[in-house]
Structure 1
Amino acid sequence: MKKGYGSCPGTCGELVQGISGNKESISSYCIDLFSRVMVWDSDGGDPTYKTRKRKSLDAIGLVFEHFGYDKSESEKLNIIIKSNIPVGKGMASSTADIGASVMAVLDYLNRDMSPDLISKLVAKIEPTDSIFHKEVCIFDPINGEVRESLGLLANKKVLVLEPNSKISTVRLRGNKSYHRDILKNKCLTDNSFEMLKRGFRSGDVDLIGKACKNSAFANELIKKTPFLEEIIEISERHRFDFVNIAHTGTVVGMVFDEDRNIKNVIDELRDSRISEEYKRIYVRSVIDGGLRRGDYDGRLHKKT
């Protein structure tokens, strides 16, 4: 039985998001939460779709068309999508599902596509993220294009503050006020992207943190982040690297060096009113971006 496997990491929100120059841009980092996909032959029977995620199925069809195959052949594949990325929190769960599906079908077809090409393909389906690329970058989510690669966030972890509340990115972006408000924020976000670039070039984490902070406060015009000032105050008092938010989601990240013990900070957060909003508080590792080919962790298997 022929099979194909692929996986894609999620994010913890974005470092900066908004207008840069004359285009909407985002910059995010990946964490060790994954969407994993397996595709396999249907052996002539009716295919099994262990997913209701139409966008992933559409992406698989686009891959078939790209390589000159009949798109209808893609509809004969069995597909399973499994993910531990929270949905509706601004952690790129939808983009990761689509990307992992693309990689699984590339593995199945024994074909390759560059991250740039995959990003542009996925952007035909919905605004996308930079997670198909290894490095942190400034990215055009509408056209699926890297505007500038910045580098890696090495040896870092993130304390994730995840609320129960969810936001539909598609619905938020569809509001008439969204594009009006990001234009109002243009000066602030443009400066934030410039600071972010300088911070990565010089290795100045404080400058990266200032860029994230400015972008987060600018985003209050679009979507309020509960306890934002209090979270930043705790982060600065305990000398975390920076705080970043999900600009069209609800999660918040507090980034720190991976060798630090932050149990006291977690206890402080859980004993505060902040935990009334952010019901889940947990640590994940910051990792390189990029799609992974093959049976990534050995756990995604078709039940027999």
Structure 2
Amino acid sequence: MKVGYGDCNGTFGELVQGIYEKKPFLLTLPITELKTKAVFIPQFNENKIIGHELFTKAIVACQKLLTMFNLPSGGYLRMYSSIPRGKGMASSSADIVAGMRAVADSYSLLISEEMMSKIASEIEPTDGVMYENVVAYDYLGGTLIEKLGKLPPYHLIGLDLGGTVDTVLYNQQQIQYTSQQLQDLKNAYDLVKVGIKHQHLPSIISAATISARINEQFLPKPLFNEIDYLSSLCQGGIVTAHSGTILGILYEPKEVDGTSLQHFYQKLETFTVRNQLTPRFYSNTSSKLKNLTTPVV
């Protein structure tokens, strides 16, 4: 037994979310720049895990994990997170997974993604952040549907449109999709699979945009049409947090078919300044965003 360490990435909403084959699902969009880190310090003289009230869900998950292994549950859990809360970026799920990984590290436990998924789903509807790369995940049942693989190179500019959403409350409502929307969601799911298999980002962009537009019927975002238009300037598309407050522009890291990224960045700057928004840049490439004077942090 020792001081244990764990971490977990957040997400930028979901590539696609809805119903597929009568089962709720989401396709994850993991973001390595968004991270929760956890430190677990075991204590023999404590009979419970002590931590900040902000991370109550993670504390409960860690206690459940120790009970599962019939181990003493005393200790201190310290959490450090760069993931905004209440925005649809998997902050709670990342807290839960990072905490369990720290406890497992402390006790040298071998825990599976399935085990973490089961515990997390007992606490709240959860994202599939315990799995690497993009996965299809039943966020209500807490089960993996299938692993899809790594995303091709991308750039993503994220915009927080304000406010917060209680994911637990939001997911208690029954969303009624039309038959056409269900077919479109199936097509979007298949497009992501094809896009990952062939490392073809435009297929994934199309899928995310389909899902984002459907989601506007249930949780509309301010400025959606304007951001949708901006995405067309870089031949990109829209990514949304289906139960959150963020929208993103997903696009290729290079100019395609004569598209001027400089023109896009200029229009984006004008838009964000006018609407008092701060764009945030994410990418799975080593390239840096250039020619954009609006702060991207």
TM-score range, shorter chain: 0.7 to 0.9
Tell me, yes or no, if the aligned pair for 1:158 and 1:286 is still in contact at 8 Å.
no
> After the TM superposition, which residues 22-41 of structure 1 pair with which residues of structure 2 at under 5 Å, given as runs?
22-31=22-31, 32-41=33-42
Match of 2:64 in 1: 62
Match of 1:42 in 2: 43
Q: What amino acid maps onto 1:84 in structure 2?
A: S
Deviation at residue 21 of structure 1 after TM alignment: 0.8
1:9 aligns with 2:33: no
Distance, in Å, in 2 between the alignment partners of 1:171 and 1:27 is 21
1:242-271 Cα offsets, whole Å, 9 max, x none, are 321101101112223457796754442231
229, 247, 256: which one aligns with 2:242: 247
Question: Would the alpha carbon gap of residues 257 and 208 (structure 1) be closer, same or farther in structure 2, given more than 3 Å must change?
Answer: closer
Question: Would the alpha carbon gap of residues 95 and 281 (structure 1) be closer, same or farther in structure 2, given more than 3 Å must change?
Answer: same
Q: What amino acid maps onto 2:244 in structure 1?
A: G
47, 51, 54: which one aligns with 1:52: 54
Q: Unaligned regions of 5+ residues in structure 2, if any?
A: 286-297
1:224 aligns with 2:220: yes
Larger relative contact order, structure 1 or 2 (CA cutoff 8 Å, min sep 6): 1
Query: Which deviates more, 219-228 or 88-97?
Result: 219-228
Question: Would the alpha carbon gap of residues 33 and 262 (structure 1) be closer, same or farther in structure 2, given more than 3 Å must change?
Answer: farther
SS at match of 1:52: helix
The normalised TM-score by structure 1 is: 0.83
1:204-253 Cα offsets, whole Å, 9 max, x none, are 3222222111111111121002222322222222233x321101101112
> After the TM superposition, which residues 198-217 of structure 1 pair with which residues of structure 2 at under 5 Å, given as runs?
198-217=194-213
Count of aligned positions: 279
150, 161, 165: which one aligns with 1:152: 150
Task: Provide the identity percentage.
Answer: 28
Tell me, yes or no, if the aligned pair for 1:8 and 1:35 is still in contact at 8 Å.
yes
1:142 aligns with 2:140: yes
Q: What amino acid maps onto 1:193 in structure 2?
A: Y
Distance, in Å, in 2 between the alignment partners of 1:67 and 1:259 is 50
Which 4+ residue blocks in structure 1 deviate beyond 6 angstroms? none
251, 257, 266: which one aligns with 1:256: 251
1:63-100 Cα offsets, whole Å, 9 max, x none, are 1122232xxx32x2111111110011110001001110
1:165-212 Cα offsets, whole Å, 9 max, x none, are 21111121123xx33358884233222212222222333322222211
Match of 2:182 in 1: 186
Distance, in Å, in 1 between the alignment partners of 2:69 and 2:238 is 42
Q: What amino acid maps onto 1:271 in structure 2?
A: T
Say what the alpha-carbon RMSD is for the aligned residues.
2.6
Match of 1:298 in 2: none
The normalised TM-score by structure 2 is: 0.84
Deviation at residue 61 of structure 1 after TM alignment: 1.3
Question: Would the alpha carbon gap of residues 184 and 122 (structure 1) be closer, same or farther in structure 2, given more than 3 Å must change?
Answer: farther
Q: What amino acid maps onto 1:39 in structure 2?
A: F
Tell me, yes or no, if the aligned pair for 2:158 and 2:247 is still in contact at 8 Å.
yes
SS at match of 1:112: coil
Q: Unaligned regions of 5+ residues in structure 1, if any?
A: 288-304
Distance, in Å, in 2 between the alignment partners of 1:132 and 1:188 is 27
